[in-house]
């Protein structure tokens, strides 16, 4: 599993802990990794780390990944094209599933529209009611 735009790495840590996934966490900001390390230590998991922007990810980086995940990573319009390109690269490298979660911002909707047209992606509404009602969307792209 590769978590892109990982921030503190909570999504990747969950995958490592719950599913025993081998996780690579990628973020453009090297300063997030001490926080990721602390969370990984608290959860007794090991996470590989990589400092990179979306546009720096290559097919070689992704060819060993079965799944690419991201949460709350498409919040600025300038992120749409680099993310779309990273998704395209991941699919070309053989990644089977890509899931990106978002609260439903306009840049995310633009990315979702591009992915629906180019890759037959599905946009799924998602909601939880406990402990507090929250909603969002999942962009699911399958090879």
Q: Which domains does the chain have, with CATH numbers?
A: 7-52 (no CATH), 66-143 (3.30.110.20)
Instruction: Look over the chain and give the mean of its residue pLDDT values, rounded to a whole number.
Output: 97
Residue 78: partners with Cβ closer than 8 Å, 6 or more residues away: none
Q: How far separated are the first and last CA of the chain, in Å rounded?
A: 15
Residue recorded with tokens 């070689």: 60
Angstrom distance (rounded) from CA 8 to CA 28: 12
Paired tokens of 41: 């230590």
CA 109 to each of CA 46, 85, 117, 123, 124: distance values in angstroms, whole numbers, following the listed order: 33, 16, 12, 9, 12
Tens of pLDDT, residues 76-132: 999 999 999 999 999 999 999 999 999 999 999 999 999 999 999 999 999 999 999
Cα-Cα-Cα-Cα torsion 97, 7, 48, 137, nearest 10 degrees, comes to -10
Q: Residue 96 has which token pair?
A: 């089977």
* pTM of the full structure: 0.95
């Amino acid at each position: 599993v590769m978590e892109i735009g990982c921030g503190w790495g909570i999504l990747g840590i969950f995958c490592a802990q719950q599913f025993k996934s081998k996780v690579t966490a990628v973020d453009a900001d090297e300063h997030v990794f001490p926080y990721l390390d602390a969370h990984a230590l608290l959860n007794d998991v090991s996470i590989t780390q990589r400092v990179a922007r979306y546009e720096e990810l290559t097919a070689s980086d992704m060819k060993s990944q079965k799944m690419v995940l991201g949460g709350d990573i498409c919040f600025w319009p300038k992120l749409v094209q680099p993310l779309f390109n990273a998704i395209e690269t991941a699919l070309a490298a053989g990644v089977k599933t890509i899931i990106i979660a978002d609260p439903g911002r306009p840049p995310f909707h633009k990315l979702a529209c591009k992915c629906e047209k180019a890759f037959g992606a599905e946009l799924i509404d998602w909601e939880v009611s406990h402990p507090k009602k929250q909603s969002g969307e999942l962009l699911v792209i399958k090879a």
